[in-house]
């Protein structure tokens, strides 16, 4: 009877450890998704990360990726801003030319 009790305790302990591990994995997934990790990246992390140093390497790689995106978006932003500015200036010049032509045609 005592051995059955010990087995039950071991099973319950393992079950609790298993549930706690699943909870920690779910928590990690939620955090990684909030950092814009893809599900494929998260799967890779969960498969490969065995300790904190592995996780830090993955986070550092993501940081470098994000920095690259920021620089790319800044370049895109500046390009779009320049196009808008050029179009506004072009529209102003066209309007001024039209106004001058309109005034000249009235004088003739």
pTM as predicted? 0.59
- Average pLDDT of the segment spanning 69-86: 95
Give Cβ neighbours of residue 35 (< 8 Å, ≥ 6 apart): 59, 62
The Cα–Cα gap between 23 and 12 comes to: 16
Inform me whether the pLDDT recorded for 11 exceeds 70. no
**Which residue would you say has higher pLDDT here, 29 or 7?**
29
């Amino acid at each position: 009877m005592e051995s059955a009790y010990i087995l039950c305790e071991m099973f319950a302990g393992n079950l609790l450890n298993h549930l706690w591990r699943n909870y920690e994995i779910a928590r990690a997934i939620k955090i990684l998704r909030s950092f814009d990790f893809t599900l494929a990246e998260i799967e890779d992390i969960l498969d490969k990360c065995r300790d904190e140093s592995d996780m830090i390497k993955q986070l550092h790689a993501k940081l470098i990726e994000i920095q690259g995106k920021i620089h790319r978006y800044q370049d895109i932003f500046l390009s779009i801003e320049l196009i808008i500015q050029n179009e506004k200036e072009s529209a102003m010049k066209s309007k001024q030319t039209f106004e001058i032509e309109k005034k000249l045609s009235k004088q003739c």
